[in-house]
Amino acid sequence: MMATNGREAAQTAVASSRIGAGGDLPRRFTLDGDEALERHLERACALIVSGVRGLIAPRKLEAVLLGGGYGRGEGGVLRGDAGDRPYNDMEFYVAIRGSRHLNEARYRRRLEVLGEILTHLADTEVEFKITSLAELAGGPVSMFSYDLASGHRLLWSGPSANPELGWDLHRCAENIPQSEATRLLMNRCSGLLFARDHLEREPFTPFAADFVRRNVAKAQLACGDALLTAHGRYHWSCRERHRRLEDLARNRRSAWFDAALRHHATGVDFKLHPKSEAIPRDALFAMHGEVTAFALKCWLWLEARRLGRPFPSARSYVEDAGDKCPGSSLIFNVLLNLRADRFRPRAAPSLWRHPRQRVFHSLALLLWEPEAISDPKQLRRVETELNARGTGLSEWIAAYRVLWSRNR
């Protein structure tokens, strides 16, 4: 670890020994990675903390936390002849005192450059997210805030900072709103859409194959996780989530829940022990098709439960005139739509609706009704939702990615 002295050394030692609220979980980054991998990740964290502290004034920096799988002790382990390697991204949360927007304007690019430098040294992608302790504690409960509050690795904290103060509300999974399950599926099904684009492109590279396999596995995991969230039984540990899903499937005695359990098991296995072996493109097409079809069933069930009305198909979901994001501020929705469209005029169904509804609709059409881009009526709807024009699926997916990235 980086050189420290006095009180600072004690703070660093305490930070390195705790996870989440209890401090009773083993202090590892992975479940079963070899000791060389654990030491490598420990050194990477030390370098990253040192780099962050060199960029941000001591009076501003409150804490540095490691989130994601490695922060929860369930990071992916890629087995190889030369030993174990990291697979997942390393997600660092940099808590800086003051306005997040001002801090992003000042520090975001510096941290991006630091991440690019340290990605090579860490042997995996290094990502930084700027926040503040006040924002983490005072923001609305979400799946993200629950995961971070319940399972993280505190790498460093300032002398007057208490990173876990006010997090009790965020540590209760029952407080996660139903809309977070939809948001999770939206993001993971977007990964399926992007994976389809990779599957259909030439040349089909090993990178593309890995991208497809990874996003299929994420969607498999998300389908089960969304069901758990809808039933108020989500948990930060993917292994505990699978045990809870087993209980649900046992009580429901449903072929649909059994399928969710099977897909979830595959997703958990890939999350903890990703595979790097080559899979033929035809096999990936088949896997992608099966998971995409199952994800549609999950999406329609989840949205019917959340919104209180049935949706027999993806097209009926899109054609439903009801508000898919009820409760959001009308004025705020207008501002979000203007930002999403970079202040370009658009013939929208309603600027008063949250732009995430546009993401829902365009995702449903592009992923589950791909023939929509050859149907003039549906094509006009895609153009309206995305406020863009295209001549092929790849162009539509690129336009979708822009809208999704601003509303995920």
Does 134 lie in the same domain as 197?
A: no
93 within domain boundaries: yes
Please state, rounded to an integer, the average pLDDT across all residues of the chain.
89
CATH number, domain with residue 307: 1.20.120
Does 188 lie in the same domain as 170?
A: no
Does 221 lie in the same domain as 281?
A: yes
Does 197 lie in the same domain as 135?
A: no
HSE-up (13 A, CA, CB side) for residue 268: 18
Q: What is the pLDDT of residues 22-48, one digit of tens each?
A: 334 447 999 999 999 999 999 999 999
pLDDT score of 6 more than 60: no
Provide the token pair at 405.
């990235």
Does 171 lie in the same domain as 184?
A: no
Domain boundary among 151, 175, 199: 175
Domain that holds residue 29: 6-175
From 169, 156, 123, 164, select the one nearest 52 (Cα to Cα): 156
pTM over 0.85: yes
1 within domain boundaries: no
269 within domain boundaries: yes
pLDDT score of 291 more than 80: yes
Provide the token pair at 255.
């072929």
Provide the token pair at 287.
């896997």
Domain boundary among 311, 340, 362: 311
Q: Are 127 and 115 in contact (CB under 8 A)?
A: yes
291 within domain boundaries: yes
316 within domain boundaries: no
Does 307 lie in the same domain as 365?
A: no
pLDDT of 3: 36
Does 133 lie in the same domain as 205?
A: no
- Per-residue pLDDT band at 346 (split at 50, 70, 90): low
- Per-residue pLDDT band at 349 (split at 50, 70, 90): low
189 within domain boundaries: yes
Rounded Cα distance, 224 and 230, in Å: 10
CATH number, domain with residue 90: 3.30.460.10
Domain boundary among 121, 141, 175: 175
pLDDT of 87: 94
pLDDT score of 285 more than 50: yes
Q: What is the pLDDT of residues 120-172, one digit of tens each?
A: 999 999 999 999 999 999 999 999 999 999 999 999 999 878 887 889 999 99
How many domains are contained in the chain? 3
- Per-residue pLDDT band at 5 (split at 50, 70, 90): very low
Length of the chain: 408
Does 213 lie in the same domain as 153?
A: no
Cα dihedral 367, 371, 373, 377 in deg (nearest 10): -110
Rounded Cα distance, 201 and 210, in Å: 14
Residue 368: count of CB within 10 angstroms of its CB:
22
pLDDT score of 21 more than 90: no
Does 132 lie in the same domain as 25?
A: yes
Does 402 lie in the same domain as 279?
A: no
Does 22 lie in the same domain as 148?
A: yes
Does 214 lie in the same domain as 80?
A: no
For residue 17, what is the DSSP state? Answer: T
Phi first, then psi: give them for residue 172, nearest 5 degrees: -105, 110
Q: What is the pLDDT of residues 221-232, one digit of tens each?
A: 999 999 999 999
For residue 73, what is the DSSP state? Answer: T
